[in-house]
A and B are shown apart, each in its own frame.
Chain A
Amino acid sequence: MSWVDVAIQAGIWALEILVIAASVALSVAYIIYVERRVIGWMQVRKGCNRVGWAGLLQPIADGLKLFLKETIIPTTANKFLFVAAPVMAMAPAFIAFAVVPFGETTLFGLWETAHVMAIANINVGILYVMAISSLSIYGILMAGWASNSKYAFLGAIRATCQMVSYEISMGFAIVTVLMLSGTMNLAGIVHAQAGGLLHWYIIPLFPMFLVFFISGAAECNRSPFDLPEGESEIVAGFFVEYSGMWFATFSLGEYAAMILISLMTSILFLGGWHAPIAALDVIPGTVWLLGKAFFLIFVFIWFRATFPRYRYDQLMRLGWKVFLPWTLAWIAVIGICMYTPVIQDVIAFWRPGSGA
């Protein structure tokens, strides 16, 4: 490979990263807008509607406002970690997008075979997403500790316990998917679900779908699991001391994580970029994937408008005493089914590589 090729390849990668990062950031801005409108609609009020037509310029105005605000660093804070924390919270959510396959394309017939639209289509994609998204906890933990404030620290502790607890059941839910698909490659998992609605893993793994999605809500501290922020008792939790752009960075990370969870749920359980029935294949796969993800984001918002916040012991109980046994049992069920004579053939319907 000559240097020119290397430079071109690097340029292409940089472009891909830029495109995805920019669209995620923009999506975050408009998801916040959608959230305000949808909750307003659900609660029979207007929501933001002043800036621009139907309030469409509101996110930009908000962004501008946060950007121009002064960033205050408390005197007793650990300066370096205080500043690093928001970045550490946000970066993992963005980095994880590197392996998300947005669809397959032949680039309008230019390539002979379909390529997966992902920056890096790696073998252990799903593990990569798990590993990277588990890192965002450090940002929160650091924010809480570096702020040198009781509320922030309490929020960080709550967040840590919560994320560590729910990560386990989330991981086990993924294991059931892996057992059926036989691959850890995200595109491979989507391929395994080809062939219409019935092949989607939501059918054999419905309880795991619920566990994964709800754990996902807990992972990105969404309501009703937003105890780390708990406005009523610990003001704003781990980012109570943050203002201006650093505060916005936390939100950016949180909403990016939400988009990621929605995409992952679509990929793992809802057939990724496949259309539910063959007749609808004319619509491009990417649209399907983004549509499914958007629906799930809508469900997140719906949660927020509907459920009251969990109490802490209830939260732990749900994670450890309900989800964890549930997922473990389901792994055993799937495992036994895969080697039980008659059921084996039924399960083979969802196992394209099994040869049965």
Chain B
Amino acid sequence: MLEAAFFYLFGGLAVVAALGVVMARNTIHSVMFLIFCFFNASGLFFMLDAEFLGIILILIYVGAVMVMFMFVIMMLEVNFARLREGFLQYLPIGGAIAVMLLIELIAAATSGVFSSKTASTVEHFGREVNNTMEIGKVLYTKYLLGFEIAAIILLVALVGAVVLTLRSRKDAKYQVISKQVKVRKEDRLRKVEM
């Protein structure tokens, strides 16, 4: 009973927060709602005894990704009036698609294939299982290839971001540590006759 209550609490708050993300007029508030949403999602993970995923969600998304989001949003001058310009114009078609999708999803969810029988149950519920270790074992054996590809994707993202933004300026001054260390007294000092 208590579990169901917590599930609905986290789930409900996550939905409310997600609505807040799209409804909020102030982008900073949107980001805060998104962070709140992540916390609730992490709570759901904790309820499944997946504490590793729960913590990682907070560590990566809230601790790093959202900071960057917020950073970018603070730097940009977001013009809300212009952002909402085409809103009403696109509302009918967008709304229609959304409603259709919602109906389809509900139909799919209630079609019976995802009944509690077929859904994977948490077998280790209440037992002492170190799921960090279990995830590690699977990740580095069965899913090793995927793990490596993901690493290369991150590398590519890094290289891509640098390539698209790096502009070497001629007037910028760079510090060359080795040069600084190599400097001797003779290079800098000279005696002036007074």
A contacts B: CB pair < 8 Å: yes
A: which residues have CB within 8 A of B?
78, 81, 122-124, 127-128, 130-132, 134-135, 137-138, 141, 145, 153, 157, 160, 164, 167, 184, 313-314, 317
Task: Across the interface, name the chain A residue whose C-beta is closest to B70.
Answer: A141
Question: Which residues of chain A have C-beta atoms less than 8 A from B74's C-beta?
Answer: 141, 145, 153, 157
Q: Which of A127, A145, A160, A317 contacts B55 (CB 8 A)?
A: A127
Contact indicator A135/B63 (Cβ below 8 Å): yes
Measured between alpha carbons, how far is A131 from B59 in the docked complex, in Å?
A: 4
Contact indicator B28/A137 (Cβ below 8 Å): no
Residue contacts A-B, CB under 8 angstroms, 25 given: A122-B51, A123-B51, A123-B130, A127-B56, A127-B59, A131-B59, A131-B62, A132-B58, A134-B62, A134-B63, A134-B64, A135-B58, A135-B62, A135-B63, A137-B67, A138-B35, A138-B67, A138-B70, A141-B67, A160-B71, A164-B64, A164-B67, A167-B64, A313-B175, A317-B175
Contact indicator A127/B52 (Cβ below 8 Å): yes
Contact indicator A124/B51 (Cβ below 8 Å): yes
Measured between alpha carbons, how far is A157 from B74 in the docked complex, in Å?
A: 10
Measured between alpha carbons, how far is A106 from B150 in the docked complex, in Å?
A: 47
Question: Which residues of chain B have C-beta atoms less than 8 A from A123's C-beta?
Answer: 51, 130, 132
Question: Which residues of chain B have C-beta atoms less than 8 A from A313's C-beta?
Answer: 175
Measured between alpha carbons, how far is A338 from B28 in the docked complex, in Å?
A: 47
Interface size on B, residues (CB 8 A): 20
Contact indicator A81/B28 (Cβ below 8 Å): yes
- Determine how close the nearest CB of chain A comes to the CB of B80; give it in whole angstroms: 15
Nearest 8 A/B pairs, CB to CB:
A134-B63, A131-B59, A131-B58, A127-B55, A124-B55, A131-B55, A124-B51, A145-B74
Contact mask for chain B residues 45-68; partner A; CB cutoff 8 A; 1 contact, 0 none: 000000110011011001110011
Question: Which residues of chain A have C-beta atoms less than 8 A from B177's C-beta?
Answer: 317
What 20 additional pairs, Cβ within 8 angstroms, besides A123-B51, A123-B132, A317-B177? A122-B51, A124-B51, A124-B52, A127-B55, A127-B56, A127-B59, A130-B63, A131-B58, A131-B62, A135-B58, A135-B62, A137-B63, A141-B71, A145-B74, A160-B71, A164-B64, A164-B68, A167-B63, A167-B64, A317-B175
Task: Across the interface, name the chain A residue whose C-beta is closest to B56.
Answer: A127
Task: Across the interface, name the chain B residue whose C-beta is closest to A132.
Answer: B58
Query: Which of B51, B63, B68, B71 has the most chain A CB atoms inside 10 A of its CB?
Result: B63
Measured between alpha carbons, how far is A317 from B175 in the docked complex, in Å?
A: 10
Task: Across the interface, name the chain A residue whose C-beta is closest to B35.
Answer: A138
Question: Which residues of chain B have C-beta atoms less than 8 A from A317's C-beta?
Answer: 175, 177
Measured between alpha carbons, how far is A35 from B1 in the docked complex, in Å?
A: 52
Contact mask for chain B residues 68-109; partner A; CB cutoff 8 A; 1 contact, 0 none: 101100100000000000000000000000000000000000
Measured between alpha carbons, how far is A137 from B68 in the docked complex, in Å?
A: 11
Question: Which residues of chain B have C-beta atoms less than 8 A from A127's C-beta?
Answer: 52, 55-56, 59
Measured between alpha carbons, how far is A137 from B28 in the docked complex, in Å?
A: 15
Q: Which of B55, B68, B70 contacts A128 (CB 8 A)?
A: B55
Query: Which of A128, A131, A157 has the most chain B CB atoms inside 10 A of its CB?
Result: A131
Measured between alpha carbons, how far is A145 from B26 in the docked complex, in Å?
A: 13
Question: Which residues of chain A have C-beta atoms less than 8 A from B64's C-beta?
Answer: 134, 164, 167
Q: Which of A132, A160, A164, A184 contacts B132 (CB 8 A)?
A: A184
Task: Across the interface, name the chain A residue whose C-beta is closest to B177.
Answer: A317
Contact indicator A131/B51 (Cβ below 8 Å): no
Question: Which residues of chain A have C-beta atoms less than 8 A from B71's C-beta?
Answer: 141, 157, 160
Measured between alpha carbons, how far is A164 from B66 in the docked complex, in Å?
A: 11
Q: A81-B28, A145-B74 are in contact. Are A124 and B132 (CB under 8 A)?
A: yes
Question: Which residues of chain B have C-beta atoms less than 8 A from A145's C-beta?
Answer: 28, 74
Measured between alpha carbons, how far is A141 from B67 in the docked complex, in Å?
A: 9
Question: Which residues of chain B have C-beta atoms less than 8 A from A81's C-beta?
Answer: 28
Contact indicator A134/B28 (Cβ below 8 Å): no
Contact mask for chain B residues 120-144; partner A; CB cutoff 8 A; 1 contact, 0 none: 0000000000101000000000000
Measured between alpha carbons, how far is A153 from B70 in the docked complex, in Å?
A: 13
Measured between alpha carbons, how far is A130 from B175 in the docked complex, in Å?
A: 32
Question: Which residues of chain B have C-beta atoms less than 8 A from A135's C-beta?
Answer: 58, 62-63
Measured between alpha carbons, how far is A145 from B130 in the docked complex, in Å?
A: 41
Task: Across the interface, name the chain A residue whose C-beta is closest to B129.
Answer: A123
Question: Which residues of chain A have C-beta atoms less than 8 A from B132's C-beta?
Answer: 123-124, 184
Question: Which residues of chain B have C-beta atoms less than 8 A from A130's C-beta?
Answer: 59, 63
Measured between alpha carbons, how far is A153 from B67 in the docked complex, in Å?
A: 14
Measured between alpha carbons, how far is A288 from B130 in the docked complex, in Å?
A: 29
Question: Which residues of chain A have C-beta atoms less than 8 A from B35's C-beta?
Answer: 138
Measured between alpha carbons, how far is A135 from B62 in the docked complex, in Å?
A: 7
- Determine how close the nearest CB of chain A comes to the CB of B1; give it in whole angstroms: 13
Question: Which residues of chain B have C-beta atoms less than 8 A from A124's C-beta?
Answer: 51-52, 55, 132
Task: Across the interface, name the chain A residue whose C-beta is closest to B64.
Answer: A164
- Determine how close the nearest CB of chain B comes to the CB of A155; give it in whole angstroms: 13
Measured between alpha carbons, how far is A145 from B51 in the docked complex, in Å?
A: 33
Measured between alpha carbons, how far is A153 from B74 in the docked complex, in Å?
A: 9
Question: Which residues of chain A have C-beta atoms less than 8 A from B67's C-beta?
Answer: 137-138, 141, 160, 164
